[in-house]
């Protein structure tokens, strides 16, 4: 973990970070609303749902990538991330097939689908190696299956994920520690608030630690079947249950997703 400071932030540091994030949120929302107004739309119009953690029949979901995409559009999604469960031997196929469907959706529906992977139950010590390989195979984003309270994920997986520059999202990390949240704030790994039953038991802890450390969060569905897909009403319910305030809601549901998309697009431009 070279390059990661060992200094412990003070309460003042946390407060300053929080106030800075809120100020940035207000500015971003104002800019988005102004853009909508310039395009002839109401600034209060919902931007749609962002969800970067879903599964297809390429792992343990039930839908094909293109059917999942179509159903997401019908549910009011602005963008969809597919991240099927992968290990060393299954990444290439999942990325290739999902990328092909993503290109089809963009050509015909002008809808953004991001072809990522979820590294699931892999050895904690292999996370960095596998995440780098996923990026080499042109995965748009790498999700790591975190240490959930309802699955026997190897201890140390959360720490490996937040310490890795090739990881974008640590999924449902219900057993997160304050130190891991602090590292995520420094490395820019997004911590997930999940709508998935069972995994969501850790949402309150995850968001409280993320807020204290100044780490960024995303809200994702972990969809496996059509009924898991998010709706505008349900995302607010899940966020509220995790302790997200009305003032913070735009950061989780709009600003941070666009930050991730900007990161993905910047990487694509470099390829």
**Does residue 1 carry a pLDDT above 70?**
no
pLDDT of residue 270: 85
How is 125-168 classified by DSSP, letter by letter? GGHHHHHHHHHHTT-S-EEEE---TTS-PPTTHHHHHHT-TT--
Nearest to residue 116, comparing CAs of 193, 52, 66? 52
Burial class (CB within 10 angstroms; exposed 0-12, middle 13-18, buried 19+) of 118: buried
**Does residue 139 carry a pLDDT above 60?**
yes
In the predicted model, what is the mean pLDDT of the chain? Answer: 90
What is the spatial distance between Cα 231 and Cα 228, in angstroms, rounded to a whole number?
A: 9
Band the pLDDT of 213: cuts 50, 70, 90. very high
* Domain 50-270 CATH class label: alpha beta
Cα angle for residues 186, 133, 171 (degrees, 5° grid): 50
> 33-47, 128-142, 166-180, 240-254 — which is least confidently predicted?
33-47
What is the spatial distance between Cα 191 and Cα 151, in angstroms, rounded to a whole number?
A: 18
Going from N- to C-terminal start, the domains of the chain cover 50-270
Per this entry, what is the length of the chain? Answer: 271
How is 202-231 classified by DSSP, letter by letter? GHHHHHHHHHHHT--EEEE--BSSGGGS--
Band the pLDDT of 193: cuts 50, 70, 90. very high
pLDDT of residue 140: 98
> 23-32, 43-52, 60-69 — which is least confidently predicted?
23-32
pLDDT of residue 19: 64
**Does residue 2 carry a pLDDT above 90?**
no
């Amino acid at each position: 973990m070279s390059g990661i400071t060992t200094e412990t932030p003070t309460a003042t540091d946390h407060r300053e970070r929080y106030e800075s994030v809120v100020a940035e949120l207000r500015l971003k929302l104002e800019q988005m609303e102004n853009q909508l107004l310039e395009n002839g739309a109401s600034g209060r119009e919902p931007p749609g749902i962002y969800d970067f953690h879903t599964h297809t029949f390429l792992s343990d979901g039930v839908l094909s990538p293109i059917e999942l995409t179509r159903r997401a559009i019908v549910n009011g999604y602005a963008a969809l991330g597919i991240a099927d469960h992968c290990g060393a031997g299954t990444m290439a196929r999942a990325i290739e097939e999902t990328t092909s469907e993503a290109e089809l959706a963009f050509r015909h529906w002008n809808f953004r689908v991001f072809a990522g992977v979820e590294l699931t139950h892999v050895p904690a010590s292999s996370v960095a190696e596998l995440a780098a390989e996923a990026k080499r195979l042109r995965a748009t984003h790498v999700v790591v299956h975190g240490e959930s309270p309802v699955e026997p994920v190897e201890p140390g997986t959360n720490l490996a994920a937040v310490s890795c520059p090739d990881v974008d999202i640590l999924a449902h990390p219900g057993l997160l520690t304050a130190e891991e949240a602090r590292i995520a704030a420094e490395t820019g790994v997004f911590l997930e608030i999940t709508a998935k039953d069972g995994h969501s038991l850790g949402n309150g802890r995850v968001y409280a630690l993320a807020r204290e450390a100044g780490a960024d969060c995303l809200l994702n569905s972990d969809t496996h079947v059509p009924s898991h897909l998010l709706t505008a009403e349900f995302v607010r319910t899940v966020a509220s249950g995790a302790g997200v305030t009305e003032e913070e809601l735009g950061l989780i549901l709009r600003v941070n997703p666009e930050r991730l998309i900007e990161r993905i697009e910047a990487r694509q431009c470099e390829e």
